[in-house]
Amino acid sequence: MKNPDHMHRFLFEEHPIRGQHVSLDASWQQIANQSGVKGIALILLGHALAAAALLVETLKIDGSISLQIRGTGAIHLLVVEATSSHTIRGIVRQSRELDNQKSLSEIFESDKLVITIKNGRAKPNQGIVPLSGDNLAEALQVYFDQSEQLPTRFSLACNEEIASGMMLQKLPEDSHDADAWDRITLLAATTQPEELLSLPVGQLLGRLFHQESLRIFDPDPVEFYCSCSVERTRDMLLSLGKAEIDTIIEEQDEVSITCEFCNSQYHFDKIDLEALFNDGDATPISPTRH
């Protein structure tokens, strides 16, 4: 059996090293189908979702982490988010064909990856990572190395059915075996994408680290969920301001907002909008969500 939409934590019992493995299938397929892209754009979206799902588990927060790359390249936008309640969502936008093998920064024509951590009501914490390396796993490793966080390594893989990833993290405790981290990360680096995608977690870890004693914890489910709502859309309209909305109403009779993450549509007609701006906390009369 594979690992449907699950996150597994594991520990190396004799070394201060922890790990996580994530396998996304139904959640990934839903997001992949909605994305309308194929090829490299789809692979990058899957890698980023697996990475975000792994990252949020390291944070011990009640909130979310998002990864965002914006640029002017053939793929000009990638946004993924994972929450501490084990939900994921994401989008990617491609404006033209990609030719040949390119580095991440060439694909996006951007030099940075923005990592945003939201923890409850606290101000979001943003980190900017140089978009170096050929893939997202390498870019994230640089982020952990440069931001004086725990050394962390990622392996990510994706096809149209499954997005999967593994993360190893060196804990700050002293180790009786100074070479363990290097040895274990070298072994992890030999993971083939096909193994990440197809092997049950126990079998994968057994194959990679058969000389180590590992404890694998019960899995947590992961699912696709979009947090958009009538209330959030209304807040967004309020933040645009009355003048902006008045201009839109003059041109068209209603404001329609489509959530890019889940394609839900929110419609506000003239009466809804007048009520919204006259009385900020009034519920719009006829917003619909499909």
Residues that bind Zn ion in the complex, under the rule CB under 5 A: 226, 228, 259, 261-262, 264
- If the CB atoms of residues 77 and 139 are measured against Zn ion, the closer one turns out to be 77
Measured from the CB of residue 33, what is the shortest distance to Zn ion in angstroms? 15
Nearer to Zn ion, 131 or 262 (CB): 262
Nearer to Zn ion, 28 or 108 (CB): 28
Query: Residue 225 or residue 277: which is nearer to Zn ion going by CB?
Result: 225
Backbone φ and ψ for 265, nearest 5 degrees, come out as: -115, 140
Give min distance, CB of 227 to Zn ion, in A: 7
In the complex, least distance from residue 86 CB atom to Zn ion, rounded to whole angstroms: 17
Shortest CB 66 distance to Zn ion, Å: 14
Q: How far is the CB of 251 from Zn ion (least distance, A)?
A: 25
Q: Which is nearer to Zn ion, 10 or 261 (CB)?
A: 261
